């Protein structure tokens, strides 16, 4: 009788341990999936931010180029006693 009770207790413990391990595996898998989704979302957001910064930088560079061209035309106009429009035409 003792052996039967002992065997039943061991079997019950094994089943409980197995069920617990499966739950832990499921939780670990859900955590890994969640981490992957978070990483993907963060990379997408970073990529969008970098594109926006690239566009802003390009616009700023265009503004600087326009300012430099204007300053060069004004300097040429002063040196050659002509209008800015004439200097820009050269």
Residues sharing a CB contact under 8 Å with residue 80, sequence separation 6 or more, in sequence order: 87
Predicted local distance difference test score (pLDDT) of residue 16: 66
What single string gives the DSSP state of each residue in 33-79?
HHHHHHHHHHHHHHHHHHHHHHHHHHHHHHHHHHHHHHHHHHHHHHH
pLDDT (0 to 100) of residue 17: 59
pLDDT at res. 75: 94
Please report, in tens digits, the pLDDT of each residue of the chain (90 residues total): 667 776 666 666 665 656 666 767 778 889 989 999 999 999 999 999 999 999 999 999 999 999 999 999 999 999 998 999 988 887
């Amino acid at each position: 009788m003792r052996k039967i009770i002992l065997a039943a207790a061991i079997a019950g413990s094994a089943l409980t341990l197995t069920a617990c391990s499966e739950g832990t595996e499921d939780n670990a898998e859900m955590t890994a999936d969640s981490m992957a989704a978070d990483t993907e979302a963060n990379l997408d957001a970073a990529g969008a931010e970098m594109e926006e910064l690239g566009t802003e930088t390009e616009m700023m560079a265009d503004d600087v180029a326009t300012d430099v061209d204007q300053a060069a035309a004004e300097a040429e106009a002063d040196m050659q006693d002509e209008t800015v429009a004439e200097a820009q035409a050269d």
